[in-house]
Structure 1
Amino acid sequence: MPPTDASANAGTAPVTDTGTTSPTARESRIGPTADADADCEDTLDLHLPDEFVALFAEGTGADGGRSLGAAAAAAAGQASASATSAVTVEGSGSGSGKGTGTCASATPPASTTLNPDDLLGDIVEWGTISTPAGALHLVPVRVERDLPIISRWMNDPAVTAFWGLAGPENAIEEHLRSQLVGDGRSVPCMGLLEGTPMSYWEIYRADLDPLARHYPARPHDTGVHLLIGGMGDRGRGLGGTLLRAVADLALDKRPACARVVAEPDIRNTPSVAAFLTAGFRFCAEIDLPAKRAALMIRDRSLRHLL
């Protein structure tokens, strides 16, 4: 789901991966450093997320056999419908030289459709948050509108090393659409500061992501990736300011969420510094397929202290 880097650059970086820790890497394992750090070993609750339990719930049939529960059947119905969906990139539009991508999909019956609002809430309704740098508003990506600017940002050499999404627009479009047509566990957003697009975000359910296999995940953990787009906006301390604002916004709008997590590349010093400035604590180093990352956590219980 996400980009190659999972971080939010103070100067050039992103925050978490779009579905996988960075777009290319969410598979990870906690390294020796993490094991040695007892303070990082948060108590691992032996309670699976409600959505996970519902998805794999089983019932007993009349013949005494085991059968999938309603939620699992619903997921199966959606998966079947998704298998028949077609994503088509068409034509030769003006401007970027690429036409708009159109997505047609078979829609399962209402009773079997997973509700994205149950996974992250409606980010559209999160509204604007005031920051020392101005009013920030997260707006879910619209490929037709936002692909050219996101593609330009991703192809910036300073960004490429950490996000790994440099290349033609159609590859970046696929990365975006994989989230937009998914089940709502990851939402790509544009960050508008005083109405001007200047950052790209990925907000995702870390506890429902492959990343959860590699750190002590808790139900409703929310992950975040940030890319400060324009060079003129980097190196000004905006990373920490915006990360704090968005982390607090997620905690305010998602009462069930106790922590916001991220995993910037450990080499991306400005990004790690931005998270620390934003009130995240460094928890451990974790090995991901494409990088060694810093596991950063912002706790609801500590938000007014850090």
Structure 2
Amino acid sequence: MSAAVPGAGGTVFTRTDERLGGFALRHVDPAADAVLLHGWLTHPKSVFWQMGDATVADVRRQFRQTTESAHADAFLGLHDGRPAFLAERYDPAHSELRGRYAARPGDVGMHFLVAPTDRPLHGFSRAVITTVMELLFADPAARRVVVEPDVRNHPVHVLNAAVGFRVIGTVALSGKDAYLSTCTREQYLAARAAAAVEGANG
């Protein structure tokens, strides 16, 4: 079950996972969240975000730019009320992808990061990406999600495929070669239905 809940204590979206409980997203507050996000983004497990050498001021500046942009949003994700992941939504037409792929009306770009932890929960990353996809497709105008993970980021490729993404090509972007991948609303719903059947039979 998921719901858009604008204005509810800063929360913009909630979802309940049958196994892992409550997930919620609120907008990033660059000033208040910079220290927390700095810890996540400079952790070795977050190497593909290319911010390993960033300072707290760098993180604050980057997210201030994102939150002030007319073409991007940053969200702090909560699990049972505790900060646990980060998500970004952006317009590919106003990003480095502009002119690099066959864009369509309704395209929306996405990044996500699961907070590094020494005590991972089984299935947690899958629940996070599902929550982010539900957030994106809660907007009726969103018809296809576009991602560009580093070709070396194998765990994310597995997660992307699990929710319906298909690799359409490789593109050279700043600091990385990326698998440009897309997931239409229909592909996502089909993947979700397949996962539900698998769960019922498991």
TM-score, reference length from structure 1: 0.55
Match of 2:177 in 1: 292
1: CA distance, partners of 2:186 / 2:32 = 38
- Equivalent position SS for 1:264: coil
**Counterpart secondary structure, 2:151:** coil
Q: Distance in 2 between matches of 1:216 and 1:230?
A: 34
Q: What is the match of residue 301 of structure 1?
A: 186
Matched, 1:136 2:14: no
Match of 2:144 in 1: 259
Structure 2 residue aligned with 1:219 = 105
Change (3 A) 1:135 1:239: same
Taking structure 2 as the reference length, what is the TM-score of the superposition? 0.81
Aligned to 1:109: none
Look up the equivalent residue of 2:73 and give its one-letter code. V
User: SS state of the match for residue 183, structure 2?
Assistant: strand
Report the RMSD for the aligned CA atoms in angstroms: 2.0
Letter in 1 for 2:33: D
Q: What letter is aligned with 2:184? A: D
- Structure 1 residues 221 and 155: CA distance shift in structure 2, 3 A: same
Q: Report deviation, 1:125.
A: 6.7
Contact 1:247-1:298 within 8 A present in 2 as well: no
Q: Percent identity?
A: 26
Pair 1:244–1:279, CA change in 2 (3 A)? farther
288 and 250 in structure 1: CA distance in 2 versus 1, 3 angstrom threshold = same
- 2:194 aligns with none
| Unaligned runs of at least 5 residues, structure 1 | 1-121
**Aligned partner of 1:236 among 112, 118, 122:** 122
For residues 107-186 of structure 1, the aligned pairs below 5 Å read: 126-132=12-18, 133-159=20-46, 161-166=47-52, 167-183=54-70, 185-186=71-72
Give 3-state SS (helix, strand or coil) of 1:305's partner.
helix
Cα deviation, residue 196, structure 1: 0.8
Q: Kindly indicate whether structure 1 or structure 2 has the higher relative contact order, using CA contacts under 8 Å at least 6 residues apart.
A: 1
